[in-house]
Amino acid sequence: MKSYHIAHTDLVVSRIAYGCAGLGTWDNAALDANTVAAADRLIKTALDQGITLFDHADLYAFGKSEAVFGEVLKTSPAVREKIVLQSKCGQVFPKGWRPGDPIKVDLRGEHIVSAVEGSLKRLCSSYLDILMLHAPSPLIRPQEIAQAFEDLHRMGKVRYFGVSNYSAAQIKLLKKFVRQPLIVNQVHLGLLCADLLIDGMEFALALAKGAAPAREEHTAAGTFDYCRVQDMQIQAWSPLGADLFAVPTSRAPELNALVQSLTALAQLTNTTSAAVALAWLLHHPAGIVPIIGSTNSEHIVGNCAADRIMFRDEDWNDLFIAAADLSRRST
């Protein structure tokens, strides 16, 4: 697996990461041996494929995803120094939370410090390589966050810091106060959610369609390019999305067209549609890191074939236009 150096750090990570949200069970049951054994298999499969970057958040499976990962690390302690371990904090499930209920955002300094301490305990690790704020908040107090980051860094509990789901302006605000470099922005990105790439490209898309470029159509919040300018690694969460694998008849025509193009490229490259969809992200010159979250070992192996797919710019553009058509339908 090819790797990337993350700017402003001594970290080198595989260019596909493994997202651990599915390692724990999303219920109130205690961790059991079967869950630990299944997680052990999935983590070993990811490691065998050359994945060295593992993504967590304190709230995944109500903390059980980190806990099960910690159990695996306990039995294979040598793994810890071979991987880059990142987690997030700031999203909080209110008591009795069920899917569909509101999720709170808590970015108070004391919450950030205690959330990291909880993650480290569950992960059986004395430090995180990267801590990300999981969401922005209208009540963000950047001075408080800067102090929390400072304390966590000084205590050796977090090596580097980043954000997730932040806009360019929100990152700029944090950077005004946070002393450490912000090295990552993890965002929702893929062929089913290409908005950050489409942003500001309306002119290019009109040209590609042979249409007259629309006047002043671009929104250009510019988050994607801002991250590039700042040398922040862009990580893509849910890069595939379950809709890609929905039954064809239940799919929108634009989604069917996209899936047909993926299938044709998969045949050409002797891989799968999922691998092509991931290779589409890898082909982008920004060095995007897709975070794959499959809980099926065969899918993990197949998806990692993306690392070996050589894309042509023309094919990339065709998929980009198909993704933009799909995005336009859903807005």
Ligand X SMILES: NC(=O)c1ccc[n+]([C@@H]2O[C@H](COP(=O)([O-])OP(=O)(O)OC[C@H]3O[C@@H](n4cnc5c(N)ncnc54)[C@H](OP(=O)(O)O)[C@@H]3O)[C@@H](O)[C@H]2O)c1
Residues binding ligand X (CB under 6 A): 19-22, 55, 164-165, 186, 237-242, 245, 272, 274, 291-296, 299, 302-303
CB of 192 vs ligand X, minimal distance in Å: 9
Choice between 147 and 223, CB closer to ligand X: 223
Say how far apart CA 107 and CA 145 lie, in whole Å: 7
For 306, phi then psi, to 5°, come to -55, -35
By CB neighbour count within 10 A (0-12 exposed, 13-18 middle, 19+ buried), where does 246 fall? middle
- State yes or no: is 4 an active-site residue: no
- What is the rounded radius of gyration, in angstroms, for the C-alpha atoms of the chain? 20
Q: Which of 18, 60, 160, 166 is catalytic?
A: 60
On the CB side of 168, CA atoms within 13 Å amount to: 15
Say how far apart CA 302 and CA 16 lie, in whole Å: 12
Pairing mode of beta strands 158-164, 182-188: parallel
- H/E/C letters for each residue in 201-231? CHHHHHHHCCCCCCCCCCCCCCHHHHHHHCC
**Please, what's the b/e burial string for 137-154 (b: 16 or more CB within 10 A of its CB; e: otherwise)?**
beebeeebbbbbbeebbe
Say how far apart CA 77 and CA 256 lie, in whole Å: 45
Q: Pick the closest to residue 183 from 193, 175, 173 (CA basis).
A: 175
Catalytic residue IDs = 60
